[in-house]
Amino acid sequence: MKILAAVARGRAEPLGFESLNLADPAEDEILVRLVASGVCHTDLRAMEVEGLVPKPIVLGHEGAGIVETVGSAITKVRPGDSVLLTFDSCGSCPSCSARAPSYCQQLLARNFSGKKPSGRIPYTDSNGAPVFGNFFGQSSFASHALCRSRNVVKVDSGAPLDLLAPLGCGIQTGAGAVIRSLKVGDGQSIAVFGTGSVGLSAIMGAKIVGADPIIAIDVHPARLAAARDLGATHTIDASREDVAARLRDITGYGVRFAIDTSGLARSVRTAVESLAPLGVCGVIAATREPEVGIVTRQLMLGGRSIRGIAEGDSVPDEFIPELVEHYARGRLPLERLVSHFPFGQINEAIHQAHTGEVIKPILRMQ
């Protein structure tokens, strides 16, 4: 079938709209008509970083839409169902069997290779040339996406898909880091470094579980104001204050938990330095620098630890409905994060995400 997609052809070039040919669903695939898609910084990284994904490629990985067609082996959803799209996983490796699909041993192949698990390249262009896709098992910068049961989550037919779309990645990553990965508890302290959409989602998650204090660190006053509005009890402007000293002032001995969403090596170092004895630092964003420079003595003497976190350790079929329920009950005010753009303005949405003018752009595909 013919679909419309925004195609990334060159490094850091604007996306171009093209008519592509998409194959019919295989027996284990689901054809989804996209209604909305979030724009995530991982999309921007895939556009900018040479070799992260093959090109030309259709990106996008926070899709939401309506099931149009299902393959003969699909029983999870049927045509007409509303679904949120998330990352893909194999379902059978040791990680998936241990209910840790975000650490699937086939994660890179299934989400970043540009190909289907079968090795098939999803699209051809008007000249018959192949175009890569299957980004996070979906490629949602398009009118339609081919997905698998593992990366679709059914939601109620009246659910606001143009608000819930980012639950499939950015929101579940931030909130999940607090709720699932670190298992922050009532009255426990947490510092969140970076207050983009993932960091603000972590702050909302911290408020949900009753963490206290909740401390947000950034260099943008508007983002810090948003953090306070969403549940931070304290904010620190890292451009003006000694962050580690200020955290000790607030807590008396350091924080029980820290999360870095900034991807800056100095931020990760400060997060570790700010931990109380037995504190844990979760790293969500990969640093551009090859080395972070953590002093191992700080880990050993205080029993501190640092761990990587992908997708908030989410089991999507369980955690995404939990997040939808938090939204429905007013505990996850997504509307305060998002700015909507028509699909035709995708490059403007990407630009504003890159400059920080908006927190979470969501494309409306119609």
Mean pLDDT of 128-141: 98
Give the predicted TM-score (pTM) of the model: 0.95
Mean pLDDT of 173-185: 98
- Please say if the pLDDT value at position 274 is more than 90: yes
Closest residue by Cα to residue 38 from 89, 101, 84, 88: 84
- Please say if the pLDDT value at position 284 is more than 90: yes
Least confident of 110-119, 188-197, 250-259, 292-301: 292-301
pLDDT at 209: 98
- Please say if the pLDDT value at position 114 is more than 90: yes
pLDDT at 11: 84
Q: What's the pLDDT band for 286 if we cut at 50, 70, 90?
A: confident
Q: Which residue has the higher pLDDT, 315 or 296?
A: 315
CATH 3.40.50.720, the chain: domain bounds:
173-310
Mean pLDDT of 219-232: 96
Superfamily in which the 173-310 domain is placed by CATH: NAD(P)-binding Rossmann-like Domain (3.40.50.720)
Burial of 130 (0-12, 13-18, 19+ CB in 10 A): middle
> What's the mean pLDDT when you consider all of the chain?
96
- Please say if the pLDDT value at position 12 is more than 80: no
- Please say if the pLDDT value at position 28 is more than 80: yes
Mean pLDDT of 308-317: 97
- Please say if the pLDDT value at position 290 is more than 90: no
- Please say if the pLDDT value at position 295 is more than 80: no
pLDDT at 288: 76
Task: Please state which architecture CATH assigns to domain 2-168+333-364.
Answer: Alpha-Beta Complex (3.90)
Percent over 70 (pLDDT), the chain: 100
Crossing angle of helices 197-209 and 221-230, rounded to 10°: 30
Closest residue by Cα to residue 314 from 326, 323, 304: 323
Tell me: the pLDDT tens digits for 238-253? 999 999 999 999 999 9
Tell me: the pLDDT tens digits for 313-353? 999 999 999 999 999 999 999 999 999 999 999 999 999 99
Tell me: the pLDDT tens digits for 39-82? 999 999 999 988 899 999 999 999 999 999 999 999 999 999 99
Q: What's the pLDDT band for 201 if we cut at 50, 70, 90?
A: very high
pLDDT at 21: 98
CATH 3.90.180.10, the chain: domain bounds:
2-168+333-364
- Please say if the pLDDT value at position 285 is more than 90: no
